[in-house]
């Protein structure tokens, strides 16, 4: 049996998906990531709390803006910015 795992976390995948489609809805992100809408909401909340996204209300929807200057959190990548990650991985559609 082949295990299904990826090199990137759901958090990274959400950032890349939002960069590619800033108007993506929770259900859109859920479909792209292959996780529940509740999981996407939890990831979005983590990213907002961590300073990686800014959340604002636009009409009846939330809009998320990526802080591409935020530093990555892990010791192996702490000198890199979110924009670096998105720029290197997000260009592949």
* 56 inside domain: yes
Burial classification of residue 78, based on how many CB atoms lie within 10 Å of its CB (0-12 exposed, 13-18 middle, 19 or more buried):
exposed
What is the DSSP code string of 30-59? HHHHTS-HHHHHHHHHHHHHTTSEEEEEET
CB neighbours (10 Å) of residue 33?
Answer: 16
* 84 inside domain: yes
Q: What is the CATH number of the domain that holds 65?
A: 1.10.10.10
* 71 inside domain: yes
Q: Global pTM?
A: 0.87
Of 61, 54, 66, 62, give the one whose Cα is nearest residue 19.
66
* 4 inside domain: no
**Which range of residues forms the domain containing residue 34?**
10-88
Total domains in the chain come to 1
* 30 inside domain: yes
Model pLDDT for residues 34-78, shown as the tens digit of each residue: 999 999 999 999 999 999 999 999 999 999 999 999 999 888 887
């Amino acid at each position: 049996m082949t295990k299904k795992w990826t090199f990137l976390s759901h958090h990274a995948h959400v950032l890349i998906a939002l960069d590619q489609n800033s108007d993506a809805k929770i259900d859109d992100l859920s479909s792209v990531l292959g996780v529940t809408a509740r999981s996407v909401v939890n990831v979005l909340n983590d990213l907002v709390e961590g300073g990686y996204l800014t959340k604002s209300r636009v009409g009846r929807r939330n809009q998320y803006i990526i802080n591409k200057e935020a530093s990555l959190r892990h010791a192996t990548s702490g000198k890199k910015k979110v924009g670096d990650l998105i720029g290197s991985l997000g260009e592949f559609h």
